[in-house]
Amino acid sequence: MAQDPRPSGALTIGPPSSGRGLQALAGVTALALLATLYLVFVHAPQERTMGIVQKIFYMHVPSAIAAYVGFFIAAGASVVYLVRGNRAADVIARAGAETGVLFCLVVLMSGPLWARKAWGAFWTGEPRLMLTLVLLLTFLAYLVVRQLGGDTELTRRICAALAILGVVDIPLVRYSVARWRGHHPQVITGDGGGLAPEMQVALLAGFISIALLFTLLFAVRVRLGNQEVLREQLERELSIRHHRIEALRERSPSA
């Protein structure tokens, strides 16, 4: 008798994300990224004081927002996991943390390259830089614990707590420039001087393409997480069947 090997009552986690939907999203994201490159390098003018290096801004700022969104998703889903023990929430939290780390790495890679030109040094003791580094290290710790701790209830709970603690750093990053008199530019936040209209278009395109890229990578990671949970459930089913076979053999040794 051919049975559906899918365990009963399983797999109701995560957002529905078909392969075709992800492919379409990947196509749109690729087009958006190419359009953004055109707008950044051709359409947007050079900044008067900083020159061409200012164009890092169109990738740096949207990546920072994407990192924050990823970490907030991780923290929010972690709260749900701690309260309800919902495995789907844990999958979403891990996907948010991983995707957030990618974009935080982009921020901490592109920022120093801009700073080398603007400040004359790759890294300074600037409050926003240090707090962003702390944010990255916290979520790197999250990923390391997830990796080394194995997929146990205890590991998931420790990591949920780490995500909630880590996200507290984000408001500090946001307000650090005003609060501790940092030198980090506040062009679109605070009392910055704003952007030229062509620059606004390029920045908007940057936000859209990075948002699409974030959504794509996050959805792929959630799908992967769902498959990992499914594999665990199937392995449990496998173990149950092995025990049933052993029990049947003990009852009728001739079989």
Closest contact distance (angstroms) between CB of 52 and other proteins is 5
| The one segment of 65-73, 173-181, 195-203, 222-230 that binds other proteins by CB under 8 A | 222-230
By CB under 8 A, residue 124 contacts other proteins: no
Q: Name which position in 32, 39, 44, 55 contacts other proteins (CB under 8 A).
A: 55
Q: How many CA atoms lie within 13 A of 246 on its CB side?
A: 6
Per-residue x/- track, 170-209, other proteins (CB under 8 A): ----------------------------------------
Q: Name which position in 27, 51, 149, 194 contacts other proteins (CB under 8 A).
A: 51
Q: Name which position in 5, 16, 150, 193 contacts other proteins (CB under 8 A).
A: 5
C-beta of 102 vs 208, nearer to other proteins = 102
| Backbone angles phi and psi of 9, in degrees to 5 | 75, 10
Q: 132 with 173: CB under 8 angstroms?
A: yes
Closest contact distance (angstroms) between CB of 205 and other proteins is 14
Cα–Cα distance measured from residue 164 to residue 188, given in angstroms and rounded to the nearest whole number: 27
DSSP 145-159: HHHHS-S-HHHHHHH
Which string of b and e fits 114-127 if b means at least 16 CB within 10 Å?
bbeebeeeeeeebb
C-beta of 113 vs 161, nearer to other proteins = 113
Place of tokens 């980090």: 184
The C-alpha angle 134, 211, 217, rounded to 5 degrees, equals 75
| Paired strand residues for 47 | 51
By CB under 8 A, residue 140 contacts other proteins: no
By CB under 8 A, residue 221 contacts other proteins: yes
Q: Name which position in 65, 140, 204, 224 contacts other proteins (CB under 8 A).
A: 224
Cα–Cα distance measured from residue 127 to residue 209, given in angstroms and rounded to the nearest whole number: 28
| The one segment of 123-131, 150-158, 167-175, 225-233 that binds other proteins by CB under 8 A | 225-233
Closest contact distance (angstroms) between CB of 155 and other proteins is 18
Q: Which distant-in-sequence residues (6+ apart) come within 8 Å of 9 by Cβ?
A: none
Q: 74 with 142: CB under 8 angstroms?
A: yes
C-beta of 198 vs 228, nearer to other proteins = 228
Amino acid at position 76, single letter: G
- Two tokens at 54? 């200012």
Nearest CA-CA partner of 174 in 165, 184, 164:
184
Number of residues that bind other proteins (CB under 8 A): 47
The binding site for other proteins (CB under 8 A) comprises 1-3, 5, 37, 50-53, 55-56, 59-60, 63, 102, 105-106, 109-110, 113-114, 116-117, 120, 213, 217, 220-221, 223-224, 227-228, 230-231, 234-235, 237-238, 241-242, 244-245, 248-249, 251-252, 255
